[in-house]
Structure 1
Amino acid sequence: MSLETASRPPDTAEEVQHWVLDSATELRRLRAGLFEALMGEPMPPDGRLDDVPEQVAIAATELATNAIRHGRPPTRVHLRRTEHTFVLDVADEDPGTVPEVAGPRAPGDGGLGLHIVAELAEAIGWYAEGTRKHVWAEFRIPPA
């Protein structure tokens, strides 16, 4: 998996909800809010959520933790959606630092957040805009 080249998420995604975090202590509130927002979203006629809320919550936790640890506050988390996908966008105030995918390591050594997100998401990428760096992940709504 490579995040060496910047890429943008789908531009047709509409905002569902957003959160602003200043510290890791707010991650619990983020996860709860994501579950609530996802469960309240209408599904397309051929869609169902399955494991999507859990996958989005795990990805959001990993990306927000990275932003809080390695970026500059505040961390902004946006949940958006297209007709058939949810797009998670996590931004920090450090546009000059490219997200780094950690090299091989034991699971207990940490640093595997981007690997985890890449396993859960349909697509993952990043881009810088103005004073912010965004890392995003897209999750497909499974058909019925």
Structure 2
Amino acid sequence: MGQLRTSPPPPQATALERWDLGTPAELRDLRASLRQALTRHGLVQGEDLDEVPHLVVLVATELASNALRHGLPPTTVTLLTADGCFILDVADHDLSTIPELDDTNPLDSGGRGLMLAQSVSLAVGWYATGDTKNIWASFSR
């Protein structure tokens, strides 16, 4: 198992929208709402228009699902922007564990969200606040 780098998103990151989730059933609404938010906040038109929202939504779903399954509620998903990127920040309230990359058993129930995030995003990191553990990933805008 490996560890993610410990660092918050860039300090100039600005929050665009936020979702609070209490159950896995809310993931469906998150996916639809997040797609709309990416469009609303100026996802640049181009040949990758469908790919970027798909990847952001996929990573959001995986990370939020892991937080709901293994963390303490509520799970908070925040869409931020900084330096021409979208940043997805997923927080839960379990400060007793640290995120680990589990590449030893890819079919196991844990760690895939982090591996996916690392493989499709520009950068991934994690940090803790006084009451949350946050994992973030950045994507081209």
> Does TM-score exceed 0.5, indicating one fold?
yes
Q: Note the residue ranges of structure 2 that are not aligned, 5 or more in a row.
A: none
CA contact (8 A) 2:71 2:92 kept: yes
CA contact (8 A) 2:4 2:101 kept: no
Partner SS state of residue 77, structure 1: strand
For 2:89 and 2:19, locate their aligned partners in 1 and report how far apart those are by CA, in whole Å. Answer: 11
- Please identify runs of 4+ aligned residues in structure 1 that moved more than 4 A: none
Alpha carbons of 1:106 and 1:67: their partners in 2 closer, same or farther (altered >3 Å)?
closer
CA contact (8 A) 1:7 1:127 kept: yes
Give runs of aligned pairs for residues 1-144 of structure 1, distance below 5 A.
2-43=2-43, 48=46, 50=49, 51-107=51-107, 109-111=108-110, 112-141=112-141
CA contact (8 A) 1:123 1:137 kept: yes
Alpha carbons of 1:106 and 1:3: their partners in 2 closer, same or farther (altered >3 Å)?
closer
Q: TM-score, normalised by structure 1?
A: 0.87
For 1:68 and 1:132, locate their aligned partners in 2 and report how far apart those are by CA, in whole Å. Answer: 13
Paired residues in the alignment total: 138
Alpha carbons of 1:72 and 1:131: their partners in 2 closer, same or farther (altered >3 Å)?
same
Q: Note the residue ranges of structure 1 that are not aligned, 5 or more in a row.
A: none
For 2:31 and 2:139, locate their aligned partners in 1 and report how far apart those are by CA, in whole Å. Answer: 16
Q: TM-score, normalised by structure 2?
A: 0.89
CA contact (8 A) 1:85 1:138 kept: yes
For 2:136 and 2:86, locate their aligned partners in 1 and report how far apart those are by CA, in whole Å. Answer: 10
For 1:31 and 1:4, locate their aligned partners in 2 and report how far apart those are by CA, in whole Å. Answer: 25
Letter in 1 for 2:102: A
Give RMSD over aligned pairs: 1.9
The Cα of 1:14 is off from its aligned counterpart by 1.1
1:44-100 residue CA offsets vs partner (Å, 9 max, x unmatched): 6xx646211111100000110111111100000000112410000000011221012
Alpha carbons of 1:6 and 1:40: their partners in 2 closer, same or farther (altered >3 Å)?
same
Partner SS state of residue 118, structure 2: helix
The Cα of 1:4 is off from its aligned counterpart by 4.6
What's the % identity of the aligned pairs?
42
